[in-house]
A and B are shown apart, each in its own frame.
Chain A
Amino acid sequence: MTHRYIKIGATVLVLALAFSGLLWSTLSEGAEYYKHVDEVMTSPEQWHGKPMQLHGFVVPGSILVNPNTLEYQFKVENNGHVVNASYQGIMPDTFKNEAEVVLKGRLTPGGFHTDPNGVMAKCPSKYEPAKKVG
């Protein structure tokens, strides 16, 4: 009986170790920092090149489109800190002035470089708390 429990224990241990190892290695590749613009822009150098999701608000009037292309330049701010961002591709409908956005990409000395399909603007969900009306 004890022999059997040792066998079971060993199997479980090996499996658990294997899974944690795999999980760890894939996580370190797959995980991205989730940061607000002000957290990053206080000391931008240390974030250069790291994969991250950047949370902020589009600065009104900052959206520029290169005519007849899908190249966008815009500014994102949070708590007074601003970063220049660039993106090439189709923008979601929700992307507009003052929109709350999450950008997926990397910070470079020239600004935030957004991945393809990396713009996520807050989209309306039916579970938003009821607005305080009246």
Chain B
Amino acid sequence: MASLGSFLLLTAFVVCSYTVVASVVGARRRSRRLIESGIGAFYLIAALMTVASGVIVNAFLTNDFTIKYVAHYSDSVQPLFYKLTSYWGGLDGSIMFWVFLLSIFGSIAVYVNRERYRELIPYVVAVIATVQAFFLFLMVVHNNPFTTFLTATPPDGEGLNPLLQNYWMVIHPPSLYIGLVGMTVPYAFGMAALFTGHLDDSWLRAVRRWTMFAWLFLSFGLMLGMIWAYEELGWGGYWGWDPVENAALLPWFTATAFLHSVMVQERRSMLRVWNVTLVILTFFLTIFGTFMTRSGVVQSVHAFGDDPALARLFIIFMVTILTVSFGFVIYRLPLLRARNDLDSWLSREAAFLVNNWILLFCAFFILFATMFPTLSEAIAGERLTVGPPFFNQWMLPIGLLLLLLTGIGPLLAWRKSTIRNLRDSFLWPTVAALTTAGVFTALGFRVWVSGLCFALCAFVTGTVVQEFWRGGNVRRRATGTDLFTAIVGLVGRNKRRYGGYIVHLGIVLIFFGFAGEGFKQEQQVLLKPGEQTTLGHFSVRYDRLTIRDDGQKQMTTAFVTVFEDGRQIATMYPAKWAFHKHEDEPPTTEVAIRRSIAEDLYIVLAAYDAATQAASFQMFINPLVNWIWLGFGIMALGTGIALLPERALAFAMERMPGEAAATTAALLLAVLLGAAPLAAQQHTGESDIAPILPRNEIEKSLGERMVCLCGGCGKEPIGTCTCGYAAGIRREIAKFVDEGMTEDEIIQHYITELGGQQILGTPLNQGIGRLAWLFPYLLGASGAFVVGFAAVRWSRRSEKPRAGEQPQEDADLSERLDDELRNLD
């Protein structure tokens, strides 16, 4: 099997090389056949990578420990779920996964756009295939995941690092990779436009959606990483300015900048060089991030591989990217000249420009600070480092400035704002900001940074609400419906604009959560059973320590009772798990978090003495943290709206009466918004839902085999989950056992009741159950297919009679809207 995998990678590399040559030569000679052949070969790479992925996944599933990669990142007792995800658990596999995703996305992008951007496509194919070829080359010569042991094969694998055996960590890398890999597509289109000289604004249209899509996944990946750090690492925070985190954040800044400046080019045909530069930089930073985290160039407390050979290859590749890309930008400068000048600094384009500079500055600042140890060593010969305080010192004011611009930008008119516009637009948001600042001061809070942040949050919220209110009223008068339907219609008519405002609302919530950091409280304490300590308005009593073993790991759990104003409010179970396979590694920290919308109580069992039962705890009160996750949800919702094909909502509207559409949208929103706090609440841990000791073998076994389905706790085993849902299931199981049912009968009962095997942590290994693990992948694949199909349909439809007419109408409407808004008194 391993040789098949190696062979597939080698073949993919050869096909890649052919694709590049065929596409470029085909485009130069205008040979339709060569170009088509190049495209065909391009799809073939995706097919080859899919099969190769199948081979490695199969190797993990069948415990093929002859393959070094499998032996290193998996073992025979690992749950099926983690066996699969070990695919991207290590360096070699993650590179392969990268190429796999790139080949899939590249193929979709080429398939969707092959008719509309006929001149660009051969070069798009060539650029993406070159990037693929680089990574395939890395694998073939240096990091082949299919390398086998030459001599003795180990009887069992070493197992995935326990820290990574976490639900969030499973979905975090794919999401981040989708984001990072997705940025290659805009780069390929940008480069194709530069190569061909077709530098009108049409290439932007092709990449806008892709960038937004990739940006969404990048944001989502960053957030999942934050949640993972918060829940699993147990240091009480979510962002530590670690080089690995920074590496993923860098392209996020440039991509965000691009999503804004692209609007200026569309509306005003300005910033054309700037946009190409941003696309190139974003792509470059994704590669640079990969380089930084995998080659050992930046030293961090995280032990990244120190691999000079890999570093050299990456450096050659990066230098090539920069030289070729910017070489072409300079060569094409005459074609990229702006068609308009900046009329006034009091205009929306100027605000966008400033926002771009700041975002870019963020990227470069973080790059500089992350590389500072390496730089200082190279220049001064002295290794100096900068820590999180340095990052915070800079990023705090910059972040606040960005937040302010988030509010100001949309209020300014294109071209030039008059004093009257300014007064009209800024009055209410400013009032909101000042009121918030006043209330904040009156309540006696004295953290001025947080206060400023709250005021700015109010300001931005004010602007967004005002935009919706005014736009909704204009439309209400025009269409004669109620305000709510009018607002839904407004969003439907101008999805990018209003989707963008919703994204801004998400940003506001995230900043709101960040501001909570200013009120963080921390305590480190050593307690004996029965002793009590106070943190903020909570009293925390340490009751006892239990040590249990479930075969895979030894679990040491502390029972902690929390009181608020003398009233018992919760029992919490901070724990430490020592995995048997990883005895040389430290036990993992299982943080106990009592979530609420206002603040999290976060308790870590830091150390314990089994003999005396004395335990040391680290406790935090983290105010407003959950607003960050909620903000990301809103951001995703807004991006989703902006991403909808132009006609998706209109199509629905035609067939639905206005009220029905409005109600549906409202319901959907309510469900989406309600889900997050609900899920969080279910996992708070009430007093009667402590994990109880199983009374017999059946209960013990079921407690391990079944997982919690409440949705809030990432499928913890029923036996150890501390949420109300799990407690209920445990009671039910106890009842069934008392009634004399066997283990299989109980499982069968749940399968029938739930209509599937979802309650089982690992699907039953029989019949259809074997296919169960395929389900998420099938779902993902069919989702991608549906999206792709819709995109194709949409692109074809808009090409025919509506080609010039549809966007025109939209632009007209928004122009009219802008005018009417300006005249509003």
Q: Which residues of A contact B (CB under 8 A)?
A: 19, 26-27, 30-35, 53, 68-70, 89-94, 96, 102, 104, 117, 120-131, 133-134
Contacts and interface: CB of A to CB of B under 8 A. Distances in A.
B754 interface: no
Given A26-B393, A91-B607, A130 B69 contact: yes
Contacts of A127: 90-91, 94, 293-294, 302, 304-305
Given A90-B607, A126-B161, A133-B68, A70 B616 contact: yes
B373 A34 contact: yes
Contact of B303 (A30, A69, A123): A123
A120 B301 CA distance: 7
B365 to A, nearest CB: 8
Contacts of B373: 34
Interface stretch (B113-121, B151-159, B622-630): B151-159
Contacts of B153: 134
B728 interface: no
Contacts of A131: 72, 158
Contacts, number: 117
B387 A104 contact: yes
Best-buried of B94, B302, B576, B614 by chain A (most CB within 10 Å)? B302
B384 A123 contact: no
B171 interface: no
Given A27-B386, A30-B387, A134-B153, A69 B304 contact: no
Given A26-B390, A127-B90, 18 more contacts: A26-B394, A30-B389, A30-B390, A33-B382, A35-B383, A90-B604, A92-B586, A93-B587, A123-B163, A124-B163, A125-B302, A130-B69, A130-B90, A130-B92, A131-B72, A131-B158, A134-B150, A134-B151
20 contacts: A26-B390, A26-B394, A30-B386, A31-B372, A31-B376, A31-B384, A32-B385, A70-B524, A90-B606, A90-B607, A90-B618, A104-B387, A117-B235, A124-B585, A126-B164, A127-B302, A128-B305, A129-B91, A130-B90, A133-B68
Q: Give chain A's interface secondary structure class.
A: loop
Nearest to B88: A126
Contacts of B586: 92-94, 96
B154 A126 contact: no
B90 A34 contact: no
A102 B235 CA distance: 17
| Top 6 closest pairs, chain A to chain B, by CB | A93-B586, A30-B390, A129-B305, A34-B383, A90-B606, A125-B302
A33 B383 CA distance: 6
Contacts of A68: 526, 528, 614
A89 B606 CA distance: 10
Nearest to A99: B586
Nearest to A95: B586
Best-buried of A27, A53, A93, A126 by chain B (most CB within 10 Å)? A126
Contact of A34 (B149, B158, B384, B604): B384
B589 interface: yes
B505 interface: no
A68 B390 CA distance: 35
Given A90-B606, A90-B618, A130 B72 contact: yes
Interface in B586-641: 586-589, 604, 606-607, 614, 616, 618
A34 B606 CA distance: 27
B509 interface: no
Interface residues of B, number: 61
Contacts of A34: 299, 373, 383-385
Given A90-B607, A94-B586, A134-B151, A124 B614 contact: no
B161 A124 contact: yes
Interface string B67-96: 011011100000000000000011110100
Contacts of B304: 125, 127-128
A104 B299 CA distance: 15
B305 A31 contact: no
Interface of B: 68-69, 71-73, 89-92, 94, 149-154, 158, 161, 163-164, 235, 244, 293-294, 299, 301-307, 361, 372-373, 376, 382-387, 389-390, 393-394, 524, 526, 528, 576, 585-589, 604, 606-607, 614, 616, 618
Contacts of A92: 586
Contacts of A122: 301-303
Nearest to B614: A68
Nearest to A93: B586
Nearest to A122: B303
Contacts of A26: 390, 393-394
A32 B618 contact: no
B258 to A, nearest CB: 22
Contact of B89 (A91, A117, A126, A129): A126
A130 B68 contact: yes
B154 A134 contact: yes
Contacts of A120: 301
Contact of A124 (B303, B307, B394, B587): B303
A11 B299 CA distance: 37
Contacts of A121: 301
A117 B304 CA distance: 22
Contacts of B604: 90
Contacts of B235: 117
Nearest to A132: B68
A126 B386 contact: no
B393 A133 contact: no
Given A125-B304, A127-B305, A130-B72, A31 B616 contact: no
Contacts of B386: 27, 30-32
